[in-house]
Structure 1
Amino acid sequence: MEKIKLRINPLDWLIAAPNGCSKARASEILATFSSPPHVYKFTGPGELLRGTGTDSTGKQAFAYGGGYWVDGSVISQIDANLSQYTGWLSAKELQQSARAKYRAGSAVCEDWNDFSQFHKMKIPTGETFEGLAGAIKSQPIRSKMNKNDPKTPMLMGGFEQVYLKVRNPFWIYEAAPL
């Protein structure tokens, strides 16, 4: 997917129409990035991926309403890295490893999403949209853990996160779980 950096302040972009949010909410969104993100114009073809399983209370994540997505090419990178273990690990162990690598890189706390379902956003050739993109900040394995305690197990983050204010529902499809 092609992306072009736009000369727009991320905070201004988040609070502007369409679908702008409050400054407080914008600050929460910006805090999910490990370094200052940038606003980009994306052009298809391409894919974004979102875990849409349930949280620890049984609430289903929104495929169409959620703003946080990860570049879909991450899955092929994970598969390529794990392919060296084919024959050494069972198919189930490889699947568990892929899910663990995705959770670590996307820094999605275990109590936020069980990754029982995924959705892909398939961006057609030539279609464009704006998004806020940058590296995902690390998170504790569970959201209630103290991220400032050096003993707290952390999810490393680091995958590119794309935050979208506007999503085309006709581009979103259920994807196979990892």
Structure 2
Amino acid sequence: MDYRNAVKWYQWDPTKWFIAMCSIFGLASHLRKFPDVEIKRSLLTMQLKKLDEERERLPWPVTSDDLPVITWERYQSEAQSQQLILISGFIHDVGQFMDQHPGGRRLLETHVGKDATTAFFGGVYDHSNAAHNLLATMRVGALHGGLELVNEFAVPPCLKMQIVRWTPPSPM
């Protein structure tokens, strides 16, 4: 439909330039162009495709469906040998993060084997989106009967915007 291969005047497309010159001299007529909105949609589609490829290369948190469900007693027992902290019904292994925590190792150590939900959500410090995303990557289990904290961070910010692939249903 569009006689152009490149839509901007400065983009390399000698055929477009030749056809445009022919049009000026009356040697070509009825030239058609795609509407700008269609071109913008196509550009956005390609950008989303590139973003999706980049997203595929990044590590993402384990979904709650893939986590083992652990009782409070087992959580307490496992926390004796590992640095496990409970936040929002999820059990997190913070052992590798202890020395990197901005609040210091000691702050995390005081919450090992306990429910640190209140401390994480503003009781001690109201953590950023980046902190919520990082915490989600440390999930190792879900507490049996644990209550889901219903707020804006129940789903980590990094998982709120995702590119969804839709496949049309197959004919029967």
Q: Is the helix fraction higher in 1 or 2? A: 2
Does 1 or 2 have the higher relative contact order (CA < 8 Å, sep 6+)? 1
- Pick the TM interval, shorter chain: under 0.3
TM-score, structure 2 normalization: 0.23
- Larger Rg: 1 or 2? 2
TM-score, structure 1 normalization: 0.23
